[in-house]
Amino acid sequence: MTISDFLERVQNAKPLNAFISIDQTHIREQYEKQAEGSLARVFIGIKDNISVQGQTLSCASHILENFISPYDATVVKKLKNAGAIIAGKTNMDEFAMGSSSEYSHYSAVRNAVHPEYVAGGSSGGSAVAVAAGVVDAALGSDTGGSVRQPASYNGIVGMKPTYGRVSRYGLVAFASSLDQIGIMSTSVENSAKILEVIAGEDPLDATTVPEPVRTFSKNMESQVSDWKIGLPKEYFTEGLSESVRQAVNTKVEALKAAGATIVPISLPHTEYAISIYYIITSAEASSNLARYDGVRYGLRHEPSDLMDMYTQTRANGFGSEVKRRIMLGTYVLSSGYYDAYYDKAQRVRRLLQSDFTQAFQSVDAIITPTTPTTAFKRGEKIDDPLAMYLNDIYTVSVNLAGLPAVSLPVGTDDKGLPIGLQIIAPAFKEETIFKIGTLIERLKS
């Protein structure tokens, strides 16, 4: 792709509102010198909660509206070293808190297939930029499905690596025990190529693991008969739309017909996943977002006194969803409620992790729907937080357990809206996901 091609595509896709900022001067400078490397002149969008030196780092929030990042995130450094072009900062739900990309200070992102529908969230801008053909790939962050869910809604591939596989240095923290940078692209192979570049231990992020990074894209072939695949009954119950159920089952039956072994399994603590997730993430968000107080950076309300500066800065700087989660998190961490909510949620989280550990003793991977329905209309759930939260019912367990997963497009519903299938593998078994994903991409169903 040339720079003129890119800028033309940006202009054509402008109504979708996928980007917060594009630095044309920086793009031209990169294009002139980035002629070598495994990602030479590949245009990659970066979610606006990941640091790119000299560019905005707003997290789609008024409180950081004019903040410019002083350094590159580790993943951005690695992309640049591999020859990639950082194409711009993509729109998102404020501070990555949302499932529709409607909670943005810069207005909602529109679905790339049907603009009157939501893009998914919180990495909606990255998903739409890829689906609309503006960029070759994009990075997002995935705390409870924020890469996989918008990938599903826009008909592309969304990859969430194992917790600790990719450095989070330079990613603005939402919920530190679940956050992970992920990849959005048009194929499993492209996701594998990018993961090869950005994965690996980082001395600047103590949560990264010294696990060897394989050349995933060079080792993606396998036989269907090699695989035992689990189908958890808890993911195919009431609330799953018929169109999504049929699309996923069709692919599962095609795998079975081609020689894969399909094993019914149970993940019994799945019913608690949403509750656990919103207690833990809200608690961690309450702590992480305490730093935005008008003292050091970002928006500052000129005060009559110190307390007035704190309260007015945060009241005016944060949007409604961020405030809701801060208040919920502060409540569950407060004296008298910590044991009843936060501590209990962490205990049940360990039980959920044990469910997956036990399941992977009998199967190589697990297949589920990515989302219970296809994308919904913009504005349809904006005033109903619980309905919005339930969009993540099939994705949050993966983050709570720290596992890798991918969403693949596997068809459309009667409105033409994309449907996603999710593949989950044991920790650091991204290679398994890529191999099975490649098989599914090739299957004719």
Give the residue numbers marked as catalytic.
47, 122, 146
Q: How far apart are CA 289 and CA 175, in angstroms?
A: 10
Q: How far apart are CA 312 and CA 317, in angstroms?
A: 8
Longest alpha-carbon distance in the chain: 72
Q: How far apart are CA 390 and CA 326, in angstroms?
A: 19
Q: How far apart are CA 199 and CA 210, in angstroms?
A: 10
Q: How far apart are CA 283 and CA 188, in angstroms?
A: 34
**Cα dihedral: 426, 436, 213, 193 (round 10):** -140
Closest CA to 375 of 102, 185, 38, 143: 102
* CA R_g for the chain: 21
- Neighbouring-strand partners of residue 335: none
Task: At 138, give phi and psi (nearest 5°).
Answer: -155, 155
356 in the Ramachandran plot: left (φ > 0), alpha (ψ -120 to 50) or beta?
Answer: alpha
Cα 184 to chain centroid, rounded: 8
Q: How far apart are CA 228 and CA 87, in angstroms?
A: 40
- For tokens 């950081």, the residue is 64
Q: How far apart are CA 42 and CA 46, in angstroms?
A: 13
